[in-house]
């Protein structure tokens, strides 16, 4: 069965960095679209970044472009989200998700088929 588990969250100060990891199993890692999403209290879920490992095409939301970088390790079936220059507005629960669909020009916020447990990221001012 498909499994995804996000980890690496924590409490940091504004301007600092974190790297999130999403360990996956049970599906064709290279051919699926895998993405990062976040949800803050009182807000709707936001798409952050997506990648398809087979061709490496990526998508970033404008709010994180230039600060966050998504990458994959095919040998470990793991996707990463390097988050630099963190801001208070980045505080949220971060989730990783996957779909067999080929979506890299945007993240299908409501079209992902499999979701993992989230990891909390808190950025203090």
The confidence score (pLDDT) of residue 122 equals 98
What is the Cα–Cα distance from 5 to 24, expressed in whole angstroms? 7
Q: How many residues does the chain have?
A: 125
| Chain segment 43-101, per-residue pLDDT in tens | 999 999 999 988 889 999 999 999 999 999 999 999 999 999 999 999 999 999 999 98
**96-114: string of b/e by CB count within 10 Å (b at 16+)?**
bbbbeeebbeebbeeebeb
Residue-wise pLDDT for 8-52, tens only, equals 999 999 999 999 999 999 999 999 999 999 999 999 999 999 999
Q: Of 2, 69, 1, whose CA–CA distance to 36 is shortest? A: 69
Contact 96, 22 (CB under 8 A): yes
Direct distance between the N- and C-terminal alpha carbons of the chain, in angstroms, rounded to an integer: 41
Coil, helix or strand for 82? strand
């Amino acid at each position: 069965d498909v499994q995804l588990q996000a980890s690496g969250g924590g409490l940091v100060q504004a301007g600092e960095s974190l790297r999130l990891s999403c360990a996956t199993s049970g599906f064709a890692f290279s051919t699926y679209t895998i993405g990062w999403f976040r949800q803050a209290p009182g807000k709707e879920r936001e798409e952050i970044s997506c990648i398809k490992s087979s061709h490496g095409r990526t998508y970033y939301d404008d709010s994180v472009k230039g600060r966050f970088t998504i990458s994959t390790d095919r040998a470990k079936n793991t996707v990463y989200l390097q988050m630099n220059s963190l801001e208070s507005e980045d505080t949220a629960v971060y989730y990783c998700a996957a779909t067999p669909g080929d979506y890299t020009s945007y993240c299908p916020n409501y079209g992902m088929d499999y979701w993992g447990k989230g990891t909390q990221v808190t950025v203090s001012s």
